[in-house]
Amino acid sequence: MPTRAFDPAALERYRQFLAELLEELENEIIPSLSDGDLKKAPAFGTAPGAAETAAVEYADFHATTWRNLQYLRGTLHGLIAGLQTAIDTGGTVDQQIATDIARLTEGDDLYA
């Protein structure tokens, strides 16, 4: 079985990839939802009840999408920070994190 080695260059490449995704999210996608074309609901036609039903569904969709994008944004920030910490510490993990990871791989619930 091959041995595994810490590769800070690989972590840096992945950190940079995530940073580019975050930049695209913050500079292109989120602005289109908050200030751009997707900020306003489209016209839903003139059929009886169409505007009311579609407007509610669009508002729910918009709110859910906005919330999910914010969760994604937070996740990307966390991953980037975690990768930077791993790079800075040379891959050293404190004992509690190592124990938690081992428990997860064994199927234990950390919060039980």
pLDDT tens-digit readout, 59-80: 888 889 999 999 999 999 999 9
DSSP-assigned states of every residue in 46-57: SSTTHHHHHHHH
Q: How confident is the model at residue 27 (pLDDT cuts 50, 70, 90)?
A: very high
Mean pLDDT computed over every residue of the chain: 81
Using the predicted structure, report yes or no on whether residue 111 has a pLDDT greater than 60: no
**Which amino acid, one-letter code, is at 80?**
I
Alpha helices in the chain (DSSP H): 8-24, 30-34, 50-88, 95-105
CA distance linking residue 99 with residue 50, whole number of Å: 55
Where residue 105 falls among pLDDT bands split at 50, 70, 90?
low
pLDDT value of position 109 = 56
Q: Are 45 and 84 in contact (CB under 8 A)?
A: no
Q: Quick one: average pLDDT of 51-57?
A: 80
**Residue 53 near residue 29 (C-beta atoms within 8 A):** no
